[in-house]
Amino acid sequence: NLRRDFVANVSHELRTPITAIKGAVETLLAGANENPQDSQRFLEIANRQSDRLNAIIEDLLALSRLERDAESAGIELAEESLLPILESVVQCCATAAETKNVQLRLFCTKELTACVNSPLLEQAIVNLVDNAIKYSDAQETVSIEGWQNGNQVFIKVQDRGHGIPKDHLPRLFERFYRVDAARSRAIGGTGLGLAIVKHIIQAHNGEVTVHSALGVGSVFTIILPVS
C-alpha cells in the first residue's frame, strides 16, 4: 500500500510542473511568442517549472540511493570533527540567508566529534537550515548548535519563524507531506527535504525530533549515538 501511495504521490507531484510547462509552451505556440513580453513571461514559467521537476527528481534519486545503501552494506561512517561540517552548512546556506536578510549563528566547540558520513550529515543539516530560512521572516535569526551530553551528540537547528501547528508534527517527516502545499511549491520546496533528513539520520543510527509552536518557531534536533 505504501508503495502504491508513493507512486501515486510522485505522479501527482510530477504532473503539476509538467502541466504548467505544457500550458506555457502551448500558449507560446498559439501565438504568444509574437509578443516579446508574453514570450518572456511564458518562457520564465517553463524555466521555473523545469527547475522544479529537476529538484523533485534530484530528491527522489537521493532517497533511493539512501534506501539502496541502507539495504546493502549501510553507509560509510567515520569519526569526524563536527565544526567543519557545520561551518560548511553555514557557507552553503549563506546566500539564501542573505537574500532573506536572516542571520545565521553557529555555536559548536572544535572538540566535538561523532561517527558520521560527512557529506550526508551535511546534506541533512543543510535541509534543516534551508527550511529554517525559508519559513522565517526578515531580520530573524536561525541558530545551529552542536554539543555532547553523555553518550549522545546533539545538533540543533532553531528558527523563530512561522512555526508548525501541532497536529501536523507527527506526519512532518513523511514524503511529500507539507503543512501548506501551495506555499511550499511557491518557495521551491519539493516536500521531500525532511524525508531525506530522516533517512540520513536513521542510517547514522540516530534520530531527529521536532518541537514547534505557531508564531514562536521550530526546533529540529538531530541526536547521534557516541560509540
Q: Which of 210, 227, 3, 2 is nearest to 115 (CA)?
A: 227
Q: Residue 121 or residue 192: which is nearer to ligand ADP going by CB?
A: 192
Q: Residue 40 or residue 64: which is nearer to ligand ADP going by CB?
A: 64
Per CB under 6 A, which of residues 181..200 are in contact with ligand ADP? 184, 189-195
- Kindly give the pairing relationship between strand 152-159 and strand 217-225: antiparallel
Among 120, 164, 201, 208, binds ligand ADP (CB under 6 A): 164
Stretch that binds ligand ADP, among 14-22, 90-98, 112-120, 128-136 (CB under 6 A): 128-136
Among 14, 43, 115, 179, binds ligand ADP (CB under 6 A): 179
> Residues touching ligand ADP: how many (CB under 6 A)?
21
Q: Which residues form the interface with ligand ADP (CB under 6 A)?
A: 131-132, 135, 159, 161-162, 164, 172, 177-180, 184, 189-195, 218
